[in-house]
Amino acid sequence: MNKIKKFLPSYVNRHGRLTESQKRHIALLEDFDFAKFKSLEVSLSKSNLVLDIGFGNGDYTINYALNYPEKTIIASEVYLSGIGSLIRKIKKESLQNIFIFDGDAREIFENLSDSSVDEINILFPDPWQKARHNKRRLFSEDFLDLIYKKLNKSGKLFVRTDWEDYAETIIESARARSKKYKFEKIKELNFEFKTKFHLKAINEKRKIFTFMLTKK
Ligand SMILES: C[S@@+](CC[C@H](N)C(=O)[O-])C[C@H]1O[C@@H](n2cnc3c(N)ncnc32)[C@H](O)[C@@H]1O
């Protein structure tokens, strides 16, 4: 049965073939699933919850988790081969601080406690370049409303894009919610690691825009 979609998809449906390794690792999802996070939530530290939205091949997530073993990372992706790759890397590094949400990240928030999130990272969200597709962009005023209560008092939202027009969308959305959020153009994320899309942007000589939003 098809799941009813609550949000206009902000991702491209991909039906590429999975490698044998990806298939084997996807079968292990239960061990790293968001449901497991929920069952362990009370025993995990109340602080240090980080979200990585749209993790792609998972390289940022893995490096973040290695660098900050004390933090818990919830990583979300809809792209199955990315999920298989991330699980393979988690196993390789024997990491215990990553949980995976295999679906639209916007559905996580109704399952998180208020004021529980320290940091959200959205790196190179799908650009949806054509004007008629702009409404599919993940970053929007609605998204800022959705996460507001979930961020804790000092919580931070980082977003990075290499599309100038998407940067404009971010600026406009942040302006529209300027009563709730302080907004800054910044150079560095809390944790820096160049993702596949970051390297591609550098290679193609595109400008990179990085922003941080914090609660007022
Ligand atoms: C351009 S890629 C960037 C991947 C990675 N962050 C990087 O920098 O290499 C954007 C990713 O976001 C995922 N994505 C888009 N909308 C999403 C959503 N609502 N929830 C979870 N993942 C999403 C897509 O499937 C895609 O893999």
The string over 197-216, giving b where at least 16 C-beta atoms fall within 10 Å of a residue's C-beta and e elsewhere, is bbeebeeeeeebbbbbbebe
pLDDT at 41: 82
pLDDT at 3: 58
81 lines ligand 1 (CB under 6 A): no
The β-bridge partners of 73 are: 50, 98
Q: Is 126 a catalytic residue?
A: yes
74 lines ligand 1 (CB under 6 A): no
State pLDDT tens for residues 49-66: 999 999 999 999 999 999
Distance 174 CA to ligand 1 centre (A): 20
Burial of 123: CB neighbours in 10 Å, binned 0-12, 13-18, 19+: buried
pTM of the model: 0.96
Q: What is the 3-state secondary structure (H, E, C) of 126-185?
A: CCCCCHHHHHHCCCCHHHHHHHHCCEEEEEEEEEEECCHHHHHHHHHHHHHCCCCEEEEE
Q: Which of 59, 130, 74 is nearest to 107 (CA)?
A: 74
pLDDT at 5: 74
pLDDT band at 1 (very low <50, low <70, confident <90, very high): very low
Distance 6 CA to ligand 1 centre (A): 17
126 lines ligand 1 (CB under 6 A): yes
77 lines ligand 1 (CB under 6 A): yes
Distance 132 CA to ligand 1 centre (A): 20
pLDDT at 4: 64
Give the list of residues 6+ apart from residue 37 with CB closer than 8 angstroms, or none: 44, 72, 74, 99
Does 93 have pLDDT greater than 70? yes
Cα separation, 32 vs 37, whole angstroms: 8
E-state strands within the chain = 49-53, 72-76, 98-101, 117-123, 151-161, 181-186, 209-215
Does 15 have pLDDT greater than 80? no
- The full set of domains in the chain, from first to last, is 20-215 (3.40.50.150)
Q: Percentage of the chain surpassing pLDDT 70?
A: 98
Residue nearest to atom 11 of ligand 1 (CA): 54
Report the pLDDT averaged over residues 15-30.
Answer: 94
Q: Percentage of the chain surpassing pLDDT 90?
A: 91
State pLDDT tens for residues 146-174: 999 999 999 999 999 999 999 999 999 99
